[in-house]
Amino acid sequence: MKARNYKNELAEAVAYFWKKRTVQSEKQGEASGTKDAGNRSSVTGGAQLDGFIELFAKIARDSGLTDSEIHMKETTLPGYYRPTKEWDLVLYADGDLIASVEFKSHIGPSFGNNFNNRVEEALGSATDLRTAYREGAMKQSIKPWMGYFMLLEDHPKSATPVKVREPYFPVLPDFKEASYQRRYVEFCRRLVLEGLYDSACLLFSAESTGRSGDFTEPSTGLDFIQFSASFIGAITAFIQNRDMRR
């Protein structure tokens, strides 16, 4: 039987993201009489990424896990450098952590303000959980799979090359005169290359067309198909291993 690619469901999640963002921004303005500076209301409102989280919960269910093994709430996991960290989606069964996934978005027009924050968050989360696993915080037969999912607004300011300050040493060539779109491609690629995450997915979507579910995938190594295939592979490996132990 041919495997599903879930592209229609992914488009629906993209559309949900933009529509939810619009609704939250409008409600914030109605409540206060003024809108937050920049896009803070859409950032602080939450729930915009729920469509993506629920899509991967569905993929996990279709791959053989039960609802009781798929967690979108109560997703606290132990850390090494801090006591705990909340993840967006956790797959947990029979005392084993199967997978954890972080879902993020970055919306303009001020892309420079949050890019470094996103990088530091992702690096910290991955390092914290992987080290906690190494130190035995999670009794585990299969190493937990970790995924990073990012939706970046396709905007003229995210596509424009950005100058960097180099007062002492030159920056690495891939970042020289790179747009934020290019920076995110390199960032997500290196997360996987360095083994911090098992897979990463990067989507670009413009607000004007995103409400209809439109998006682009800037790199074949960071596309949805490979990300979901890696996710499904981790679940399949866990189920097969569990069946062998029984």
- Each residue's pLDDT tens digit, 108-164: 888 988 999 999 999 999 999 999 999 999 876 678 999 999 999 999 999 999 999
Write the DSSP assignment of the chain as a string of letters.
-PPP--HHHHHHHHHHHHHHHHHHHHHHHHHHSSPPSTTHHHHHS--TTHHHHHHHHHHHHHTT--GGGEESSS-EEE-SSSSEEE-SEEEEETTEEEEEEEEEEE--S--HHHHHHHHHHHHHHHHHHHHHHHTTSS--SSPPEEEEEEEEE--HHHHS------SSSPPPGGGTT--HHHHHHHHHHHHHHTTSSSEEEEEEE-HHHHTTT--B-S-GGG-HHHHHHHHHHHHHHHHHHHHHH-
Domain boundaries, the chain: 7-245
- For residue range 77-98, list pLDDT tens digits in order: 999 999 999 999 999 998 899 9
Q: What is the pTM of this model?
A: 0.91
